[in-house]
């Protein structure tokens, strides 16, 4: 990651950032400023009525003596909390990229100096870092001004050591999210199932135990639902198990399971070509699980966690699975594959069953870009949460609110279940009608949880942002890493 963030006592300053509370309340430090500068500030504010000091608003200025100055809105004085500060950092990213001199900028949020919560500066820095991530290494011809060139931001603060320490505690979470964004953005000719398995393997250096199962081993275990999806591809399918053992020795682990379809053509039920390129990100569930494991390992989380990802490529070929084929899943249940494009649930069926039977986890949370229907329901704003477990749901919803990775609770009533009964097998992989596509997919998954506490996150809509978001430039969001990290930290560490 290219942006460097440093903390030091106020000194020579290249860009000063001045925080302004809602209602354009200038910080008391301006009282000590010279009259000209104060007059200039009041005039600037009165000439730009759209800037009101609302959260994340910004106003770049050049002072009469040619200093760069950015006013940034801090929102309401009484609503200062980490999520808000991160948003401020996010807003600063673009503006500092434009105003930086030789890629460097200094920030001094005067208003937050001496603020009673000492984590303001570190959270602003964290938001800035998250929003500044870019994937630009395939450009060979762009001019610097077309690229993101902000290289270093120095926070000028009265307590540089404390702020740096607080920032270092957050940094691993960004590292995890960036790993996710990278693998999600890389195209499918680079991120094949094997390449993604190798990315997971690279977590060994952070202290994660990693096992990679190949097709022969999966066949022997009986993971025919997963294998059927990859059967038309020249790329070998894999299941990867990652273990982070930071908790008590015999404590049951938390389990996270990810859909890792490195490219989803739909198979023989082939997709239309328009936007099919998007299906390179159909491995995002797996990408989030890998990024989460990285974050947990890098911050040495005090908890036992297993991550399991099913890695396959869904291609049509002479060897591909046909609509109507029946497969024997690892659970023993048989599945009639009506639509080869409803492949994610087939991969997860075996991955979920394997996870609960081998690890006896406290619970399982799976993540998958599972259905187009969840995009119809929730767009890019929230991921769908499906869980029969009220306590688990509440914890996940709250973690979503705290990290601005929002979830919305979706139904999982038993009446939807009979829709996937098949005429010739235990179940079919799509519902009969066209309705409630995300719920029938979730009901299918539920049949492979063996009643272990479980939640399913359908992240099809939130994985790829077509517009800039608060903490992410457009493109891969890494949605889920910060949410699940928070969920674990708040509820399962040191307990
Ligand atoms: N990977 C897709 C879902 C998807 C769509 C993710 C758009 C991200 C963006 C999934 O495998 C799929 O094809 N689902 C089908 C299911 C249908 C055949 C029942 C869908 O949603 O159309
Ligand atoms: Mn599909
Ligand atoms: Zn898919």
> For 147-162, what is each residue's pLDDT tens digit?
999 999 999 888 899 9
345 is catalytic: yes
> For 372-387, what is each residue's pLDDT tens digit?
999 999 999 999 999 9
pLDDT of residue 361: 99
Overall fold of domain 4-158: 3.40.220
* Candidate list 152, 243, 271, 302, residue with the active-site label: 271
pLDDT, mean of residues 303-307 = 99
pLDDT above 80 (res 278): yes
Contact 464, 476 (CB under 8 A): yes
**pTM beyond 0.95, yes or no:** yes
Q: Whats the size of the chain, residue-wise?
A: 495
Two structure tokens written together for 224: 């025919």
Contact 429, 420 (CB under 8 A): yes
pLDDT of residue 379: 98
Q: Where in the chain is the domain with CATH 3.40.220.10?
A: 4-158
pLDDT of residue 123: 95
Q: Pick the residue whose CA is nearest to atom 3 on ligand 1.
A: 371
Q: What is the Å distance from ligand 3's center to 234 Cα?
A: 18
Residue listed under structure tokens 């099809």:
460
For residue 371, give the ligand 1 atom closest to its CA: 21
Q: What are phi and psi of 173, to 5 degrees?
A: -65, -40
CA distance 407 to 26: 36
Contact 361, 304 (CB under 8 A): no
CA distance 394 to 399: 9
pLDDT above 70 (res 29): no
Q: What is the Å distance from ligand 2's center to 342 Cα?
A: 5
- Does residue 419's CB lie within 6 angstroms of at least one atom of ligand 1? no
> For 308-362, what is each residue's pLDDT tens digit?
999 999 999 999 999 999 999 999 999 999 999 999 999 999 999 999 999 999 9
With cut-offs at 50, 70 and 90, classify the pLDDT of residue 1. Answer: low
Side-chain-facing half-sphere of 69: CA atoms under 13 Å:
19
Q: What is the Å distance from ligand 3's center to 274 Cα?
A: 15
Strand partners for 364 = 255, 454
CA distance 290 to 75: 35
With cut-offs at 50, 70 and 90, classify the pLDDT of residue 294. Answer: very high
Of all ligands present, the nearest one to the C-alpha of 184 is 1
- Residue of 408, 396, 388 whose CA lies nearest to 450: 388
Report CA 491 to chain centroid distance, whole Å.
Answer: 19
pLDDT, mean of residues 261-278 = 98
pLDDT of residue 26: 79
Between residues 134 and 27, the one the model is more confident about:
134
Contact 260, 286 (CB under 8 A): yes
pLDDT above 60 (res 47): yes
Q: Is 294 left (phi over 0), alpha (psi -120 to 50) or beta?
A: alpha
pLDDT above 90 (res 116): no
pLDDT of residue 81: 86
pLDDT of residue 181: 98
| H-helix segments, 105-255 | 120-132, 160-185, 193-201, 215-221, 224-230
Contact 16, 68 (CB under 8 A): yes
Q: Pick the residue whose CA is nearest to atom 5 on ligand 1.
A: 372
* Candidate list 345, 382, 443, 482, residue with the active-site label: 345
Contact 340, 328 (CB under 8 A): no
Residue listed under structure tokens 């066949």:
219
Buried b (16+ CB within 10 A) or exposed e, 251-274: eebbbbbbbbbbbbbbbbbebeee
CA distance 343 to 301: 33
pLDDT of residue 37: 83
pLDDT of residue 298: 98
Question: How far apart are the two ends of the chain, measured CA to CA in Å?
Answer: 33
With cut-offs at 50, 70 and 90, classify the pLDDT of residue 284. Answer: very high
- Does residue 373's CB lie within 6 angstroms of at least one atom of ligand 1? yes
- Does residue 159's CB lie within 6 angstroms of at least one atom of ligand 1? no
> For 75-110, what is each residue's pLDDT tens digit?
888 888 889 899 999 999 999 999 888 999 999 887
- Residue of 308, 332, 336, 371 whose CA lies nearest to 228: 336
> For 173-211, what is each residue's pLDDT tens digit?
999 999 999 999 999 999 999 999 999 999 999 999 999
CA distance 241 to 209: 8
Contact 261, 283 (CB under 8 A): yes
Going from the C-alpha of 59 to that of each of 53, 250, 301, 332, the distances in angstroms are: 9, 55, 39, 62
With cut-offs at 50, 70 and 90, classify the pLDDT of residue 12. Answer: low
382 is catalytic: no
pLDDT of residue 494: 80
- CATH number among 3.90.550.10, 3.40.1710.10, 1.10.3470.10, 3.40.630.10, domain 173-491: 3.40.630.10
Q: What is the Å distance from ligand 1's center to 343 Cα?
A: 8
pLDDT above 70 (res 72): yes
pLDDT of residue 117: 58
Q: Which of 341, 416, 419 to mutate to test the pocket of ligand 1 (most atoms within 8 A of CB)?
A: 341
Q: Where in the chain is the domain with CATH 3.40.630.10?
A: 173-491
Residue listed under structure tokens 């379809």:
261
Q: Pick the residue whose CA is nearest to atom 14 on ligand 1.
A: 371
pLDDT above 90 (res 163): yes
Side-chain-facing half-sphere of 359: CA atoms under 13 Å:
29
For residue 440, give the ligand 1 atom closest to its CA: 19
| Strand (E) or helix (H) holding 488 | helix 481-492
pLDDT above 70 (res 228): yes
Q: What is the Å distance from ligand 1's center to 213 Cα?
A: 26
CA distance 418 to 409: 21
pLDDT of residue 9: 87
CA distance 384 to 456: 8
> For 387-425, what is each residue's pLDDT tens digit?
999 999 999 999 999 999 999 999 999 999 999 999 999
- Does residue 379's CB lie within 6 angstroms of at least one atom of ligand 1? no
């Amino acid at each position: 990651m290219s942006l460097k963030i440093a903390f030091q006592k106020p000194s020579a300053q290249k860009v000063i950032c001045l925080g302004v509370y809602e209602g354009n309340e200038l910080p008391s430090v301006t009282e000590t400023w010279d009259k000209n500068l104060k007059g200039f500030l009041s005039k600037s504010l009165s000439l730009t009525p759209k800037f009101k000091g609302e959260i994340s608003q910004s106003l770049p200025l050049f002072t009469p003596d040619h200093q760069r100055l950015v006013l940034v809105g801090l929102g309401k004085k009484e609503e200062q909390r980490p999520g808000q500060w991160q948003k401020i950092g996010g807003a600063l990213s673009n503006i500092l990229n434009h105003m930086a001199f030789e890629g460097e900028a200094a920030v001094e949020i005067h208003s937050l100096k001496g603020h009673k919560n000492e984590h303001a500066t570190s959270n602003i820095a964290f938001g800035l870092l998250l929003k500044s991530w870019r994937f630009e290494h395939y450009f060979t011809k762009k001019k610097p001004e077309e690229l993101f060139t902000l290289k270093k931001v120095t926070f000028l603060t009265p307590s540089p050591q404390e702020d740096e320490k607080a920032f270092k505690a957050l940094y691993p979470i960004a590292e995890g999210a960036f790993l996710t964004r990278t693998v999600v953005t890389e195209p499918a000719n680079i991120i094949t199932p094997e390449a993604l398995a190798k990315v997971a393997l690279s977590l060994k250096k952070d202290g994660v135990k990693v096992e990679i199962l190949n097709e022969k081993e999966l066949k022997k275990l009986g993971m025919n639902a997963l294998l059927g999806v990859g059967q038309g591809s020249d790329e070998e399918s894999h299941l990867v198990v990652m273990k982070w053992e930071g908790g008590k020795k015999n404590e049951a682990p938390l389990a996270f399971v990810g859909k890792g379809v490195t490219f989803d053509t739909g198979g023989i039920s082939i997709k239309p070509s328009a936007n099919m390129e998007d299906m390179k990100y159909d491995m995002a569930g797996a990408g989030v699980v890998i990024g989460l494991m990285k974050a947990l390992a890098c911050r040495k989380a005090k908890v036992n966690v297993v991550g399991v990802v099913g890695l396959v490529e869904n291609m049509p070929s002479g060897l591909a699975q046909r609509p109507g084929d029946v497969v024997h899943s690892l659970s023993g249940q048989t599945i009639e594959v009506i639509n080869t494009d409803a492949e994610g649930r087939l991969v997860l069926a075996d991955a979920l069953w394997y996870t609960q039977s081998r690890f006896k986890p406290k619970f399982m949370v799976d993540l998958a870009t599972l259905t187009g229907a969840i995009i119809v329901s929730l767009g890019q704003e929230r991921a769908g949460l499906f869980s029969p477990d009220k306590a688990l749901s509440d914890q996940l919803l709250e973690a979503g609110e705290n990290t601005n990775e929002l979830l919305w609770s979706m139904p999982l009533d038993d009446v939807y279940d009979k829709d996937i009964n098949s005429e010739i097998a235990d179940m079919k992989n799509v519902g009969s009608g066209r309705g409630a596509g995300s719920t029938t997919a979730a009901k299918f998954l539920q049949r492979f949880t063996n009643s272990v506490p479980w939640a399913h996150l359908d992240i099809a809509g939130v994985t790829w942002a077509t517009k800039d978001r608060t903490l992410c430039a457009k493109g891969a969001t890494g949605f889920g890493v910060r949410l699940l990290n928070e969920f674990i930290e708040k509820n399962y560490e040191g307990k």
